[in-house]
A and B are shown apart, each in its own frame.
Chain A
Amino acid sequence: MTDGAQGCLILILEDEPIVGLLVEDTVIDAGGEAVLACSVDAALAAIAGRRFDGAVLDINVNGDLSYPVATRLAELGVPFIFASGYGDRILPEEFASARTLTKPFAVPELQHALEAMLAPGNERTQDPD
């Protein structure tokens, strides 16, 4: 068991409850706390109310793309990773450098990705332009 997410608050945007639970458990096992949102609107509302340390975003959430959430997180300087079943989906240019976990992912891969995301110095800052 890792403790890479010790004391961190993580937003999970995932429309598939079982996958959401898996991510949530992984975050809790790593010492963090998780908020599970099942829609883009719910995720945006959660961001408006609390300060998150990181996020795991499904790309296609009930047919909506999660890019608005990613944009908002980037503005706030919150690091995030995408998790998607679209292996060949090309991310929009502004997210081209974002880390993507390809579904199905195993717990160790997720733990690794969470640690990398929460590593110091990984806070996303808004581009000056």
Chain B
Amino acid sequence: MPLDLARLPQLLPNPYVVLDTQLRIVWMNEAYLRVTMRAREDIEGREMIEAFPSDPSSESHMQLMSSLRRVLETGEADEIALIRYDIANPDGQMETRYWSATHTPILNAEGQVEHIIQHTVDVTELESLRRLRDEAGLVDRARSVQRRSRNLATVIRHYRELVEQAPGFIAVLTGPDHRFEIANSAYRKLVGRRGVIGKSVAEALPEVVEQGFTDLLDEVRATAKPYRGTNQQVFLGNESDDTTNERFLDFIYQPLIDPANGEVSGIFVQGHDVTEQVLALEHQTLMVNELNHRVKNTLAIVLGLAAQSFRSLPGAEANVANFNARLNALAAAHNILTERNWEETGSSSIIQGSIAASAGEDAARCFISGDEIELPAQNAVALAMIVHELTTNAIKYGALSVPDGSITIQSSRIMKGDAPVFRFVWREHGGPPVVPPERKGFGTRLIRLGFSADATSNVDIRYDPEGLICVIEGTVK
């Protein structure tokens, strides 16, 4: 007679019960019903904890539930060497029972837990015998050892998961040839998902040897000093083809010191991939340069148009020259601002740049002193245009119109009430006697606007016979 495999589990002398992922009882064999003193219809389809109730705060309850949960979380088998779990007998009275149980997961094709088989053995008699013989001492000790190792295993698993799921890449290298002991998910992704554990860096990632990374590791090992890489370029291969990828990394090689002998036992590698940031910054720089190039080309076209438009106009040469000079001053300010990415720019570089663009060699007779004040882009452009007008005026009528004249320019930060104020003082010396102009030209009007967009600047132009003095005070930002 052929063996009926389908009936086999029912005939096995050991008790088996199968739970689904909700921990509901979906199947059990005869031996299980015998040992638990239940009928199939009483427990089938019910949650295990409902079929065999226990106080949720009791150790029995927690021990059983945490073992089942571990199987669901890890997909690995779990054992309970000894558990006291009391059950009701057919008269409804609770009986003290000791069990030993194994929980084995049944995985589906995707590797996910679908069911758990519990194999449980009633060890109450064994336990009672032991209890008598050992007067409870031995089993209690065994039980506490089990509890401690269970806690330790939980802690280790917890830390392993933390490392594995950390957003940055982490690896631990040991030995003189830097063998991978740990490499977390982010690290494996970085190196193209190649299997690295147990291999040396040179074996696992041959492409990094020539790039100097094994030398760096050797040095960290030899000197016991950490190495920190910032925006460091690396070319990494992957397991699917022969190509390499350029990445930029921020990382640290931290020597791990063995407390027993004070020597470097390994290297902790930790960092993150900053490729996106580095590329974004490069792209931004490129865009700013390109934009600046186009702005300057456009200014060149404007100059060309002006020259073409006014070349046949009698007497327009001086006006065209003024126009050219102003446009050049604007371009010079743009140059400085571009170098600083249109962020805050130092007052003295703006003043110096504008004088150099307007006065050429005569800039040597202009002396700039005082504090370096950081100015936002708009204030910086306004200041550059003011300095250009003052310089042009000095060349035509003031200190720079004679060989011995000079100009001192002082910038400082002063407090007006609670507000910090930028104070700019332009003072000409040694020029011809100053006569106030009869009408306000464009230059004067531009200077009188000051360098604040909100028109809060205080502008004082004094036509001192000794030399023109211009004082501008304004809140910046």
Contacts and interface: CB of A to CB of B under 8 A. Distances in A.
A29 to B, nearest CB: 9
Contacts of B338: 87-88
B379 interface: no
Contacts of B331: 102-104
B335 interface: yes
Given A25-B308, A88-B289, A19 B335 contact: no
A106 interface: yes
A104 B299 contact: yes
B328 A106 contact: yes
* Chain B contact patch, size range: 20 to 34
B190 interface: no
A107 interface: yes
Contacts of A18: 301, 304-305, 308
Contacts, number: 70
A106 B304 contact: no
Interface string B295-314: 11101111111011001000
A68 interface: no
Given A86-B293, A87-B335, A105 B300 contact: yes
Contacts of A42: none
A107 B323 CA distance: 12
A119 to B, nearest CB: 19
Contact of A85 (B292, B302, B303, B311): B292
A105 B321 CA distance: 12
A18 B297 CA distance: 10
Contacts of B297: 16, 19, 85, 103
- Most chain B CB atoms below 10 A, which of A18, A86, A105, A106: A106
B301 A19 contact: yes
B307 A25 contact: yes
Contacts of A103: 296-297, 299-300, 331
Given A87-B335, A104-B302, A60 B328 contact: no
Contacts of B302: 104
A103 B307 CA distance: 15
Contacts of A25: 307-308, 311
B325 A106 contact: yes
B64 interface: no
Interface in A85-113: 85-88, 102-108
- Most chain A CB atoms below 10 A, which of B289, B296, B299: B296
A102 B308 CA distance: 20
Contacts of A105: 300, 303, 328
- Most chain B CB atoms below 10 A, which of A21, A102, A103, A105: A103
Interface in B222-237: none
A104 B303 contact: yes
A22 B307 contact: yes
B292 A22 contact: no
Interface of B: 289, 292-297, 299-305, 307-308, 311, 321, 324-325, 327-328, 331, 335, 338-339
8 contacts: A19-B304, A21-B304, A22-B300, A22-B304, A103-B300, A104-B299, A104-B327, A108-B324
